[in-house]
């Protein structure tokens, strides 16, 4: 071995030791644990409670998807029988179609509408007026979601609801429908709840992303004649793709797993026209007491949501991530 190679080999451990001392990286060792045992002791109750109340129940539910499981009866392993039962269920294709409809709508309502509102607020000239608009966007978040759903239920009332009253007053009686009682339009009426879908959290997330864009970028764009819609398409959207990705993931998870609005407004009716897998999971667990079957549906929804999340993570790459690579 040459002297240069020997010097390089001998200096490597010394270099790593100096780096660890400078950066505070002492590695995972018993000595490091003993030095910080008070911190670990203080954090351990939090992690224990998280494991018991947050992680254990869903993990148990996913495992029990392969069992016949009812309250008070020992769980029996049945393999893939619960999954086969669901896929051979006559209404499953219709439920999956409804999921696709809700997913497409959720991506539009959860991504596009908050972005439009954020753009309108961000480029308001008056600082006081800008803060007022932010406040007005946040105020609806103080109202429980179930209150909003029940309010829309009254709006859709075919006899006393203001929507049909307004249509009749305008001479459009033929458009006054039983919005939640007709199988052709019930799912679309449920989608319309919350119009104009200006989600406060989504708007604030976009405003945070727009606020991180340097003023020099906008000044350079203005000098190049890139203003208005061109600026939005070429500058704003590429630089807030990180926020778009986050909201797309949240929209996918909500569209696939949420069923509360449907439960309150139609409970899957009329007939099975508004049924979704999440609502079937709820009915199976708390009405039919088929917890194993319900867990199987939950596992399927988890796989679909996880797949959608991975696709979004790979498909939407913010500009700053591309520059790092």
The CATH number covering residue 97 comes to: 1.10.3720.10
* pLDDT tens-digit readout, 275-324: 999 999 999 999 999 999 999 999 999 999 999 999 999 888 776 565 44
pLDDT value of residue 8 = 44
Q: Is the pLDDT of residue 252 over 80?
A: yes
In the block, tokens 């727009």 appear at: 210
Give the percent of the chain with pLDDT over 70: 89
Asked if residue 72 belongs to a domain, the reply is no
According to DSSP, the residues that pair with 172 across neighbouring strands are none
Asked if residue 164 belongs to a domain, the reply is yes
Asked if residue 214 belongs to a domain, the reply is yes
According to DSSP, the residues that pair with 98 across neighbouring strands are none
3-state secondary structure the chain: CCHHHHHHHHHHHHHHHHHHHHHCCCCCCHHHHHHCHHHHHHHHHHHHHHHHHHHHHHHHHHHHHHEEEECCEEEEECCCHHHHHHHCCCCHHHHHHHHHHHHHHHHHHHHHHHHHHHHHHHCCCCHHHHHHHHHHHHHHHHCCHHHHHHHHHHHCCCCCCHHHHHHHHCCCHHHCCCCCCCCCCHHHHHHHCCCCCCCHHHHHHHHHHHHCCCHHHHHHHHHCCCCCHHHHHHHHHHHCHHHHHHHHHHHHHHHHHCCHHHHHHCCCCCCCCCCCHHHHHHHHHHCCCCHHHHHHHHHHHHHHHHHHHHHHHHHCCCHHHHHHC
**What mean pLDDT, rounded, does the chain reach?**
86
Closest to 252 in 3D by CA, of 315, 312, 201, 317: 312
Can you give the length of the chain in residues? 325
Q: How far apart are CA 236 and CA 133, in angstroms?
A: 20
pLDDT value of residue 140 = 86
Asked if residue 67 belongs to a domain, the reply is no
Q: Is the pLDDT of residue 24 over 60?
A: no
According to DSSP, the residues that pair with 120 across neighbouring strands are none
* pLDDT tens-digit readout, 179-233: 999 999 999 999 999 888 888 899 999 999 998 888 888 888 888 888 788 888 8
Given its phi and psi angles, is residue 241 left (phi above 0), alpha (psi -120 to 50 degrees) or beta?
A: alpha
Mean pLDDT of 81-89: 94
- Cα 246 from chain centre: 8
Q: Is the pLDDT of residue 273 over 90?
A: yes
Asked if residue 65 belongs to a domain, the reply is no
pLDDT value of residue 324 = 46
Model-wide pTM > 0.75? yes
Asked if residue 57 belongs to a domain, the reply is no
* pLDDT tens-digit readout, 26-47: 455 777 777 888 888 888 999 9
Asked if residue 32 belongs to a domain, the reply is no
Domain span including residue 191: 91-324
Per the structure, the count of domains in the chain is: 1
pLDDT value of residue 151 = 94
Q: What angle do CA 197, 202, 207 make, to 5 degrees?
A: 120
pLDDT value of residue 10 = 47
Asked if residue 35 belongs to a domain, the reply is no
In the block, tokens 């890139």 appear at: 226
Q: Among 48-57, 66-75, 157-166, which is the least confidently predicted range?
A: 66-75
In the block, tokens 């917890």 appear at: 291
Mean pLDDT of 6-26: 46
pLDDT value of residue 127 = 87
The residues, any chain, with a CB within 8 Å of residue 111's CB and separated by 6 or more, are 202, 244, 247, 248, 251
Q: Is the pLDDT of residue 142 over 90?
A: no
pLDDT-derived band at 255 (thresholds 50, 70, 90) equals very high
pLDDT-derived band at 18 (thresholds 50, 70, 90) equals very low
């Amino acid at each position: 071995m040459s002297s240069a190679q020997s010097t390089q080999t001998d200096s490597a451990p010394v270099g790593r030791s100096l780096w660890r001392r400078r950066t505070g990286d002492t590695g995972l060792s018993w000595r490091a644990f003993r030095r910080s045992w008070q911190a670990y002791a203080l954090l351990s109750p939090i992690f224990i409670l998280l494991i018991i109340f947050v992680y254990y129940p869903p993990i148990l539910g996913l495992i029990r998807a392969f069992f016949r499981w009812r309250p008070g009866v020992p769980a029996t392993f049945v393999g893939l029988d619960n999954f086969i039962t669901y896929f051979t269920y006559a209404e499953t294709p219709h439920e999956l179609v409804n999921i696709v409809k809700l997913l497409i709508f959720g991506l539009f309502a959860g991504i596009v509408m908050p972005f439009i509102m954020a753009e309108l607020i961000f480029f308001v000239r008056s600082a006081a007026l800008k803060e007022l608009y932010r406040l007005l966007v946040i105020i609806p978040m103080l109202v429980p979601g179930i209150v909003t759903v029940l309010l829309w239920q009254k709006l859709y009332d075919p006899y006393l609801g203001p929507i049909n009253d307004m249509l009749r007053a305008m001479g459009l009686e033929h458009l006054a429908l039983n919005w939640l009682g007709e199988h052709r339009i019930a799912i679309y009426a449920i989608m319309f709840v919350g119009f104009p879908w200006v989600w406060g959290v989504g708007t604030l997330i976009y405003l945070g992303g727009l606020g991180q864009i340097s003023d020099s970028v906008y000044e350079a764009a203005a000098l190049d004649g890139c203003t208005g819609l061109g600026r939005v398409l070429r500058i704003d959207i590429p630089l807030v793709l990180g926020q778009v990705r986050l909201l797309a993931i949240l929209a996918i998870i909500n569209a696939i797993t949420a069923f509360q609005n449907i439960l309150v407004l139609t409970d899957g009716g009329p007939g099975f026209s508004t049924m979704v897998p999440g609502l079937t999971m709820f009915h199976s667990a708390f009405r039919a007491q088929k917890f194993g079957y319900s867990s199987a549906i939950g596992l399927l929804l988890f796989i679909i949501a996880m797949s959608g999340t991975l696709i979004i993570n790979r498909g939407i790459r913010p500009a700053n991530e591309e520059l790092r690579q």
